């Protein structure tokens, strides 16, 4: 009700109530989590169909995690080198190492153990190293037949923040408490060295 000169005036019966004022950007209704992959790759799409079925029909959290990772962008499906793979599977060589991403080669690894791995993609060098050591490389549809609930597997993922771009994120370089890497044209005497201590480097105190 609205008060005019101390008196309450009832709304007209034919009056239409005004809508609520939505702030700029609109009302947030849905979450931003992906429910399908952006990729048009038919093989990824088929794997999504398979793991959507498995996560629905089994009580396994493994299948739900694999499905979620299949939706992810390539930046979030970071590659993993064979050196990390060897490190993370130490003492678990009898289990299947599962990576929803790429396995890459690492020339620094001298001794390669016999491993069974499952990945979306394995580079040529890494494939040769794994097979030469007597290991086995599975695709995700083969894994679904061998371990439909993810039993006897080790689910791994690569270092997402190892990209060079991530080192520039955060507070502005040079500000207190910042460890962000500055964008510099070149690394040399004349570029962002001794700022504040030399006239030719911005200013001198």
Q: Strand 7-9 vs strand 96-104: parallel, antiparallel, or unpaired?
A: unpaired
Closest CA to 128 of 82, 62, 189: 82
Of how many residues is the chain composed?
Answer: 205
pLDDT in tens, the chain (205 residues): 555 554 445 555 566 777 777 777 677 777 889 999 999 999 999 999 999 999 999 989 999 999 999 999 999 999 999 999 999 999 999 999 999 999 999 999 999 999 999 999 999 999 999 999 999 999 999 999 999 999 999 999 999 999 999 999 999 988 889 999 989 888 877 777 777 777 877 778 8
**pTM (whole model) above 0.85:** no
Q: How remote is the C-alpha of 72 from its chain's centroid?
A: 6
d(CA 139, CA 122): 10
Sole residue written with tokens 């570029």: 191
């Amino acid at each position: 009700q609205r008060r005019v000169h101390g008196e309450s005036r009832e709304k007209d019966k034919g009056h239409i109530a005004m809508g609520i004022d939505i702030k700029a950007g609109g009302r947030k209704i849905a979450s931003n989590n992906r429910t399908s992959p952006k990729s048009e790759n038919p093989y990824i799409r088929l794997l999504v169909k398979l793991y959507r079925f498995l996560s629905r029909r089994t009580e396994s959290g493994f299948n739900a995690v694999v499905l979620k990772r299949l939706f992810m962008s390539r930046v979030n499906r970071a590659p993993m080198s064979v050196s990390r793979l060897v490190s993370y599977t130490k003492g678990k060589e009898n289990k299947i190492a599962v990576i929803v991403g790429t396995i890459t080669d690492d020339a620094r690894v001298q001794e390669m153990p016999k491993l069974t791995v499952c990945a979306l993609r394995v580079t040529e060098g890494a494939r040769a190293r794994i097979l030469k050591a007597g290991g086995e490389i599975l695709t995700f549809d083969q894994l679904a037949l061998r371990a439909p609930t993810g039993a006897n597997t080790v689910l791994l993922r690569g270092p997402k923040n190892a990209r060079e771009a991530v080192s520039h994120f955060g507070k502005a370089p040079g500000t207190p408490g910042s460890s962000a890497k500055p964008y510099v044209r070149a690394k040399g005497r004349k570029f962002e060295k001794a700022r504040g201590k030399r006239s030719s480097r911005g200013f001198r105190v």
